[in-house]
Structure 1
Amino acid sequence: MNQIAQGADTFSPLRPREKSRAWQVGAVLVGTLILAVASRIEVPMIPVPMTMQTFAVTMIGALYGWRLGAVTVLAWLAQGALGLPVFAPSGAVGIARFFGPTGGYLLAFPLVAMLTGWLAERGWNGSRPLRAFASMLAGNALCLALGGAWLAVMIGAGPAFAAGVAPFILGGILKSALGAAALGGAQRFTR
Structure 2
Amino acid sequence: MSSTPSTPLSGRFDPLSLSGRPAVVKMGLLVLGTLVLAAASRISVPMLPVPITMQTFALTMIGVLYGWRLALVTVLAWLGQAALGLPVLANGAGGVAPFFGPTAGYLASFPVIVVLVGFLAQQGWTGRRVVSSFIAHFSANLLCLLIGWAWLAGIMGAEKAFFAGVAPFMVGAVLKSALAAALLYAMASRGKTR
Superposition TM-score, scaled by structure 1 size:
0.93
Task: Name 1:86's counterpart in structure 2.
Answer: 88
Count of residues in correspondence between the two structures:
187
The CA distance in 2 between the partners of 1:58 and 1:33, in whole Å, is 15
Name which of 15, 18, 22 aligns with 1:16: 18
Asked whether the 8 Å contact 1:7–1:123 carries over to 2, the reply is: no
Given residue 18 of structure 1, which amino acid in structure 2 is its aligned partner?
Answer: G
Task: Name 2:44's counterpart in structure 1.
Answer: 42
How has the CA–CA distance of structure 1 residues 103 and 8 changed in structure 2, closer, same or farther, with 3 Å as cutoff?
farther
Task: Name 2:130's counterpart in structure 1.
Answer: 129
Task: Name 1:70's counterpart in structure 2.
Answer: 72
Larger % of helix: which? Answer: 1
Summarize the alignment of residues 1-191 of structure 1 with structure 2, pairs less than 5 Å apart.
10-89=12-91, 93-191=94-192
Given residue 111 of structure 2, which amino acid in structure 1 is its aligned partner?
Answer: P
**TM superposition outliers: structure 1 runs of 4+ over 4 Å:** 5-9
SS at match of 1:94: coil
Unaligned runs of 5+ residues in structure 1 are none
How far has the Cα of 1:6 moved from its partner?
7.3
How far has the Cα of 1:125 moved from its partner?
1.1
How far has the Cα of 1:127 moved from its partner?
2.4
The CA distance in 2 between the partners of 1:85 and 1:55, in whole Å, is 19
How has the CA–CA distance of structure 1 residues 151 and 16 changed in structure 2, closer, same or farther, with 3 Å as cutoff?
same
Residue by residue over 1:74-112, the C-alpha shift from the partner in whole angstroms, topping out at 9 and shown as x without a partner, is 110001000111111266x31111001001101100100
Asked whether the 8 Å contact 2:42–2:92 carries over to 1, the reply is: no
Asked whether the 8 Å contact 1:38–1:52 carries over to 2, the reply is: yes
Given residue 107 of structure 1, which amino acid in structure 2 is its aligned partner?
Answer: A
Asked whether the 8 Å contact 1:116–1:135 carries over to 2, the reply is: yes
Q: Let me know the Cα RMSD of the aligned residues.
A: 1.7
Over alpha carbons, which structure has the higher Rg? 2
| Percent of residue pairs bearing the same amino acid type | 53
The CA distance in 1 between the partners of 2:19 and 2:148, in whole Å, is 31
Asked whether the 8 Å contact 1:8–1:122 carries over to 2, the reply is: no
